[in-house]
Amino acid sequence: MSTTNVIPYKRTSTFGASCEYVPEAGGPTDLDGITVTSDIRDASGKLYICTVVVTSLTTFTVSLSDTSKWAIGSAYWDIRFTQNGVIFFTDTVVLSVCNNVTTE
């Protein structure tokens, strides 16, 4: 598992990301015919399935509305692409999850 980024993250914040698909050499040139999925695994090992919306041939959003149950510590996030049975992933992003201070 490749981990290249660590991002501080406050539990209970809505998780959202706007993403751009950048093809690797020899890979698909765009998202046409590709299924995009994404999950986050928190420090306790619980898996959260994100909502992915493809917005164009090269862009998509990833979101999760409820993060209140995420365990404090490191959570791991990646994105999976599937085309004709071939699966490839992004690098893994580490979310450093901490408690929120302000409640309302």
The CATH number that applies at residue 89 is 2.60.40.10
CA distance 78 to 89: 7
Q: Do residues 54 and 38 make contact, with C-beta atoms less than 8 angstroms apart?
A: no
In this structure, is residue 82 part of a structural domain?
yes
**Given this model, what pLDDT does residue 48 score?**
98
Residue 9: Cβ within 10 Å count: 19
**Given this model, what pLDDT does residue 102 score?**
85
In this structure, is residue 103 part of a structural domain?
no
**Token pair listed for 47:** 């898996």
**Given this model, what pLDDT does residue 100 score?**
87
Along the 104 residues of the chain, how does pLDDT read in single tens digits? Answer: 455 679 999 999 999 999 999 988 888 999 999 999 999 999 999 999 999 999 999 999 999 999 999 999 999 999 999 999 999 999 999 999 999 888 77
The C-alpha angle 5, 45, 1, rounded to 5 degrees, equals 40
Which residues constitute the domain of residue 92? 3-98
